[in-house]
Amino acid sequence: MAKRVRVRDLTSEELAEVKRLAHARTEPARMVERAKMVWLSHAGQGVTAIGQELGVDAVTVRARLKRFNQLGLAGLDDAPRPGRPPTYTAAEVGEVIAAALRDPQELGLPFGSWTLDRLEAYLNEQQGIAIKRSRIGEILLAEGLRWRKEETWFGQRVDPQFAEKRGPSRRSSKHPLPGV
């Protein structure tokens, strides 16, 4: 038989925060549900009743109450979970970003701008970072970098003296005749 679990006595700060979270409408749903478990236990409800009211298993309620009893308000947060270790080190990611921000001609390369294919070839061959073009794109987007789009005829010109070099514009059609 499972041991009876109840929430420990709460400090006034914990009580105020748990009450706020249990009745919140803008906090994450998980946090609100966990706070409700603590709040209902503090109000005297048993584990089974709390589970039925919130629609969760009694084992989940016991685990959450035990975690809160051990960690306090920090026990309401998600526990860190193990995941896949990063494929690229922070130094490699930094090198990708730094290379993308450099002018290729400064590096002695025969072109004036980067493409993902050129950046991939440079990083793979000259920097020794085995990285795919799709991952380079993800890294740059995560950093907030985007490829510059080509400017069209209605955008700003790259050459500030373009209008002077072009000369006056010519009309391609004649003025309409005045109405009768």
CB 45 within 8 A of CB 76: no
Print pLDDT tens along the chain (180 aa).
456 788 888 889 999 999 999 999 999 999 999 999 999 999 999 999 999 999 999 999 999 999 999 999 998 988 888 888 888 999 999 999 999 999 988 988 888 888 899 999 999 999 999 999 999 999 999 888 877 665 555 555 566 677 777 777 666 666 677 776
Q: Is residue 21 domain-shared with residue 63, that is, in the same domain?
A: yes
pTM of the model: 0.50
Residue 15 is predicted with a pLDDT of 92
Q: Is residue 64 domain-shared with residue 110, that is, in the same domain?
A: no
Residue 42 is predicted with a pLDDT of 92
Nearest in space to 121 (alpha carbons), one of 142, 138, 104: 104
* Helix-helix angle 47-54:29-42, to 10 degrees: 150
Residue 57 is predicted with a pLDDT of 93
Cα–Cα distance measured from residue 162 to residue 167, given in angstroms and rounded to the nearest whole number? 9
In a domain, 17, yes or no: yes
**Domain carrying residue 105:** 85-143
Nearest in space to 91 (alpha carbons), one of 132, 127, 134: 127
A 10 A CB-CB count for 97 gives 16
Rounded to 5 degrees, φ, ψ at 83 are: -145, -175
- Of 76, 105, 125, the residue at which a domain comes to its end is 76
How many domains is the chain partitioned into structurally? 2
Pair of tokens at residue 75: 């026990």
CB 88 within 8 A of CB 134: no
Nearest in space to 48 (alpha carbons), one of 36, 62, 34, 35: 62
Q: Is residue 66 domain-shared with residue 110, that is, in the same domain?
A: no
Q: Is residue 69 domain-shared with residue 25, that is, in the same domain?
A: yes
Say which residues have a Cβ less than 8 Å from residue 45's Cβ, sequence separation at least 6. Answer: 53
In a domain, 56, yes or no: yes
